[in-house]
């Protein structure tokens, strides 16, 4: 049985949630694109500011598409706020 209760006592089907949230082919391509975006922004920062992006910063895609690595779509943002916004957006979708 895959339905279990979480810490708050709600019934959850973890196997179904995992399949919904983890699509191997898409995730792999998105992750590779995010890594490319970080390399691109690091290169820009080194050239214009003389230093790399701090490890505590994330590269944010303004339009939410991780495969759109155009210069105007990338910005650095604090890791907590970037990931928090994505978690809120994901919660709205489901």
Confidence category of residue 24, pLDDT binned at 50, 70, 90: confident
Cα radius of gyration rounded to whole Å, the chain:
17
pLDDT at 50: 92
pLDDT higher for 54 or 86? Answer: 54
Cβ count within 10 A of residue 61: 19
**Alpha helices (H) in 1-94, listed in sequence order:** 14-21, 24-49, 79-93
pLDDT at 1: 56
What is the average pLDDT value for the chain, to the nearest integer?
A: 87
Q: What is the pLDDT of residues 63-91, one digit of tens each?
A: 989 899 998 999 999 988 888 887 888 78
């Amino acid at each position: 049985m895959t339905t279990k209760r979480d810490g708050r006592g709600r019934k959850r089907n973890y196997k179904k949630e995992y399949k919904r949230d983890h699509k191997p082919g898409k995730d792999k391509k998105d992750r590779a694109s995010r890594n490319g975006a970080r390399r691109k922004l690091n290169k820009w920062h080194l050239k214009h500011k003389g230093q790399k992006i701090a490890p505590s910063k994330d590269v944010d895609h303004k339009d939410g598409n991780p495969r759109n690595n155009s210069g105007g779509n990338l910005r650095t943002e604090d890791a907590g706020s970037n990931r928090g916004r994505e978690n809120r957006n994901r919660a709205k979708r489901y």
